[in-house]
Amino acid sequence: MTPPRPSRDFDLVVLAGACLVTMLAFLLQVRPDQRVALRGLSRFPLPHVCASRVWLGVDCPTCGLTRSLIYLARGDWRGSVRAHRLGWLVAALIVIQIPARTRALALRRAGPHRVGLAVSRLLAPLMGVLMGNWLLERLR
């Protein structure tokens, strides 16, 4: 049985999200206190968005990914790995979405495709790797 392929709307949302995240990685900066702010507006940090960190004081499996992606956009590999050890992997999967979803949308006009489905199948393993990384951090 073949699983259903992602819809055109899904492909569009993922493409827009990947483009937005990539663009924000270049537009944001990490302040010395590790808060994130728009470039040029560093006096006004963005609020924390992790509910786990804000309400429970516990980092979640994705805590640090935003800072990691910002460091990667600046070419700071060490800073990226310090912020989140799997940031490079998440960044690669986000960037891969742009050509994959663009191609999926183009092929959709020509008939059935499997491009978007293949990339979508990476989500579950990624979540597993993030959870495993988080557990390892908690055990240290």
Is 40 a domain residue?
Answer: yes
Query: Mind listing the pLDDT tens digit of every residue in the chain (140 residues)?
Result: 555 566 788 889 999 999 999 999 999 999 999 999 999 999 999 987 777 777 888 788 888 999 999 999 999 999 999 999 999 999 999 999 999 889 888 887 655 556 555 666 777 788 888 888 888 887 87
Q: Which two tokens stand for residue 133?
A: 């990384």
Is 2 a domain residue?
Answer: no
**β-sheet bridge partners, residue 86:** none
Is 112 a domain residue?
Answer: yes
Helix axes 87-110, 123-139, angle to 10 degrees: 170
pTM for the full predicted model = 0.80
Q: How many domains does the chain fold into?
A: 1
Is 108 a domain residue?
Answer: yes
What is the domain extent for residue 111?
A: 8-139
